[in-house]
């Protein structure tokens, strides 16, 4: 997995700060819609990973590892950006 580019963190922080509704597309093709409000570290396979946490459309708590995300589409209105690609 490639590291996250520095400027992507700014977008992640804005998404969490304003709690934008977003659609995440993951490396395995899964789509997740939700509202995220914080970043954190999670342990998986005895390694720490940066992640975002929030709730999905069913109001269930979710955590998504940042390096598992290929792109983010912002679904909220009146935002300064609408799409972020995390891969080149």
Instruction: Give mean pLDDT, residues 25-50.
Output: 96
Joined together, the tokens standing for residue 36 give 């995220």
CA separation for the pair 27, 60 (Å, rounded) = 21
| Interior/surface letters 11-49, b for 16+ CB within 10 angstroms, e for the rest | bbeebbeeebbbebbeeeeeebebbbeeeeeeeeeeeeb
CA separation for the pair 68, 49 (Å, rounded) = 10
pTM of the model: 0.92
At 49-83, the pLDDT tens digits run 999 999 999 999 999 999 999 999 999 999 999 99
């Amino acid at each position: 997995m490639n590291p996250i580019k520095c400027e992507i963190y700014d977008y992640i922080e804005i998404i969490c700060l304003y709690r934008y509704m977003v659609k995440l597309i993951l490396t395995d093709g899964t789509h997740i819609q939700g509202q995220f409000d914080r970043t954190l570290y999670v342990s998986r396979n005895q390694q720490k990973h940066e992640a975002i946490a929030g709730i999905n459309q069913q109001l269930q708590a979710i955590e998504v590892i940042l390096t598992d995300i290929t792109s983010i589409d912002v679904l909220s209105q009146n935002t300064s950006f609408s799409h972020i690609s995390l891969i080149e």
